[in-house]
């Protein structure tokens, strides 16, 4: 049995900053953090600690660990740090309006290709994102015999949480994942 891990870096990082803002008392709850766009800009998540949390102690069982995100400025070494932590890094340019594009579809493409080319029934797929856009992918994988876990903050999409084999909240581990 193998583990397949796919992370939407911006999604998990930005939402972690919201959770931290609530935890720090900057905003009273996650809903206000959304509505008023409040973030704890001092919060930084460790790529290595995230990998350790998601993959566990037995990295030999990890068939693939992919981290998807936007291309940083050339002088930014963030993705080099992620690669050293064990991630296969996939980046895409932002669009004209500086919005992140191609991340969700990139993850879905990689998941589905791996599932039907490389994985075996019984393998575990882990998606680290809170976006309901992954619901059809998860439903199909589960129908085909795969376990699909979702790891994200407690405010992940309700439908996403309900279709996952397991939902593993990051909130209790906010400080443990901090740089």
C-alpha dist (Å) from residue 49 to 81, 86, 162:
12, 11, 26
* Ordered structural domains, the chain, with CATH: 3-11+43-173 (3.40.50.1010)
Antiparallel, parallel or unpaired: β 124-128 and 147-152? parallel
**Tens digits of residue pLDDT in 53-110:** 998 866 668 999 999 988 765 555 677 777 887 888 888 777 776 677 789 999 999 9
The pTM score is 0.91
């Amino acid at each position: 049995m193998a583990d397949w891990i796919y992370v939407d870096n911006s999604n998990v990082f930005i939402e972690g900053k919201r959770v931290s803002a609530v935890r720090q008392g900057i905003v009273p709850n996650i809903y206000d953090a959304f509505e008023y766009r409040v973030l704890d800009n001092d919060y930084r998540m460790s790529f290595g600690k995230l990998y350790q949390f998601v993959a566990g102690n037995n990295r030999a069982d990890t068939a693939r660990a992919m981290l998807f995100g936007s291309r940083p400025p050339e002088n930014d070494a963030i993705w080099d740090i992620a690669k050293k932590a064990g991630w296969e890094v996939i980046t895409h340019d932002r669009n004209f309006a500086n919005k992140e594009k191609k991340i969700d579809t990139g993850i879905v493409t990689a998941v589905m290709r791996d599932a039907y080319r490389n994985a075996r029934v019984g393998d575990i797929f882990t998606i680290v994102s809170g976006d309901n856009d992954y619901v059809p992918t998860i439903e199909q994988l589960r129908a085909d015999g795969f376990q699909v876990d979702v790891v994200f903050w407690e405010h992940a999409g309700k439908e996403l949480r309900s279709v996952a084999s397991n939902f593993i909240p990051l909130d209790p581990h906010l400080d443990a994942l901090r740089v």
